[in-house]
Amino acid sequence: MSRLSHLDDQGRARMVDVTGKPDTVREAVARGLVRMDPAVRDLALTGGTAKGDVITTAELAGVMAAKRTSELIPLCHPLALSKVGVTVAPHDAGFEVTATVRTTGPTGVEMEALTAVSVACLTLYDMLKAADKGMVIDQVQLMAKTGGKSGDWTRAE
């Protein structure tokens, strides 16, 4: 196992110095699931909630979150993102959220994709909690990443 890049030689947290790293195109895809009663999913799909368009609101919240990841996670670099796409799609268990984030730079966008998914899932929960307090946010995970020194990676399913 390699050394953790966010710890110095004394074990203290530090921001990784990416000064000498070349800019490359980097992309990350993350996914998550919000499990809920099927009737609540259908309510969201038909626009029958008091809070308005649940799906569009969650997608926009995910985009906004990706852009602010470095403000939420202490050692993340602020990045100029060239693409953030968040989709909320119906799933047998509720809704599946997918985020794709891209940049050209010296460090990857995995945290931005995971943050986008997490906040979109939380937004779904917030907007639907009046109808189902038993919802579960589940399986938030990195699905794939491309670019950078470590190369490409895809989750085996």
pLDDT per residue over 59-94, tens digit each? 999 999 999 999 999 889 999 999 999 999 999 999
Confidence (pLDDT) at 132: 95
Confidence (pLDDT) at 1: 44
Confidence (pLDDT) at 3: 66
Half-sphere exposure of 142 (CA within 13 A, CB side): 15
Which sequence positions are flagged as catalytic?
Answer: 126
- Give dist(CA 79, CA 5) in Å, integer: 18
Show the low-confidence residues of the chain (pLDDT under 50).
1
The model's pTM: 0.90
Residues 6+ apart with CB under 8 A from 149: 21
Asked if residue 65 lies in contact with residue 120, where contact means CB atoms within 8 angstroms, the answer is: yes
- Give dist(CA 45, CA 89) in Å, integer: 10
Residue 104, strand partner residues: 25
Confidence (pLDDT) at 45: 93
74 three-class SS: coil
65 three-class SS: helix
Query: Cα dist. 94→54, 134, 150 in Å?
Result: 13, 12, 34
Confidence (pLDDT) at 48: 75
